[in-house]
A and B are shown apart, each in its own frame.
Chain A
Amino acid sequence: MDTVMLAKALAIGIGAIGPGIGIGLIGAKAMEAIGRNPEATGKILVPMLLIAAFAEAIAIYALVIAFSIK
């Protein structure tokens, strides 16, 4: 039982590192772009959200694996 909990924690814990860095980079670059050209905010927002969701999906894979470990 202990190792199962550890496995779950490790699966989501390690799996969240990469997407976390990815979403941080996406947000940072988007903010930079908005700072350079504030009029483009509307154009930047939607692609940013889409790509952030792609990065987030990888963390979700890890979450699904964490749930399915029995």
Chain B
Amino acid sequence: MSPEIIHENTLYAEPIAHVGSFPITNAMLNSWLVLVIVIILAVALRRSLKKVPKGLQNGMEMIVEMFLDLFDSVTGSRKKSLEFAPFALAFFFFILLNNWSGIVPGVGSIGQIVSRDGARYFIPYFRGGTADLNTTLALATIGVVVSHIVGVIAVGWWNYLNKFINIKALLEIPKKVLKDPTILIVNPIKIFVGFIEIISELAKVASLSFRLFGNVFAGEVLLASMSAILAFGLPLPFLFLEILVGLIQALIFTMLTLTYLTINTTQEEH
């Protein structure tokens, strides 16, 4: 066994414990912790709600107000913004705290040493939750699936199905072909566009999850390599950059999810 301990930034989160055959990874532990913090914050705020806000409630009200204004520019109406705000803001706070948790001292630097294949590896107890593709993939899937459910509720399942598998356009051909022969060319194109829509739904999940994962993971690697060059002072500007990137990525994820929700609930006009 070599005496040297190997530190490396792996692409995947590493298991730190097992419950039966179910591995508990460090990213998972971190996201549970963030979840607990978010829940405690929410419950504490809910308990002490007052007509005249003070302290924490004041700050949160300001943030929510700012977000509602931002959401209005996407959804187009305050009613819709209020409908989607709980869902979108839950995403925002969870992702934001997860992104920032990667910068907290101790995350990624406190851990255990594990012997594997004749070498000793350092495995941290915590790892930024969104620095694991599983977390971001789950978040993106939830976002896109909910946008479909909301779409079906708003538009009706028959209209919604025709967005992807365009049976309506197919049935239209024999009805209108005598009046308007161009329909023979237009409607098959519409049907084909429907199939492209299906692929674009998969692309949505892929791009959402990879964007968030890539940014956060690359940030962690950047910080690690900067600290390796010179541990004093040099990582500071990059830490600031990471705070900014964490905020912007959380915002982008939220806004994109909101855009999908809005697009799917809007009736297609003819």
Partner-B contacts on A (CB < 8 A): 49-50, 53-54, 56-57, 60-61, 63-64, 67-68
Contact = CB atoms under 8 A, between A and B. Distances in A.
B221 interface: yes
B44 interface: no
Name the 5 nearest CB pairs between A and B, nearest first: A60-B214, A57-B211, A64-B214, A63-B218, A53-B248
A68 B248 contact: no
Residues of A contacting B: mostly = helix
Given A50-B248, A53-B248, A64-B218, 13 more contacts: A53-B215, A53-B249, A54-B252, A60-B215, A60-B218, A61-B214, A64-B11, A64-B210, A64-B213, A64-B214, A67-B9, A67-B217, A67-B221
A67 B248 contact: no
A60 B218 CA distance: 7
A50 B247 CA distance: 11
Interface in B207-263: 207, 210-211, 213-215, 217-218, 221, 245, 248-249, 251-252, 255
A13 to B, nearest CB: 15
30 contacts: A49-B248, A50-B248, A50-B251, A50-B252, A50-B255, A53-B215, A53-B245, A53-B249, A54-B252, A56-B215, A57-B207, A57-B210, A57-B211, A57-B214, A60-B210, A60-B214, A60-B215, A60-B218, A61-B210, A61-B214, A63-B214, A63-B218, A64-B210, A64-B214, A64-B217, A64-B218, A67-B11, A67-B217, A67-B221, A68-B11
Contacts, number: 37
Interface residues of B, number: 17
Nearest to B70: A46
Nearest to A70: B11
A51 B33 CA distance: 31
Nearest to A57: B211
B88 to A, nearest CB: 15
A64 B10 CA distance: 11
Contacts of A50: 248, 251-252, 255
A54 B11 CA distance: 22
A68 B217 CA distance: 12
A57 B11 contact: no
Contacts of B252: 50, 53-54
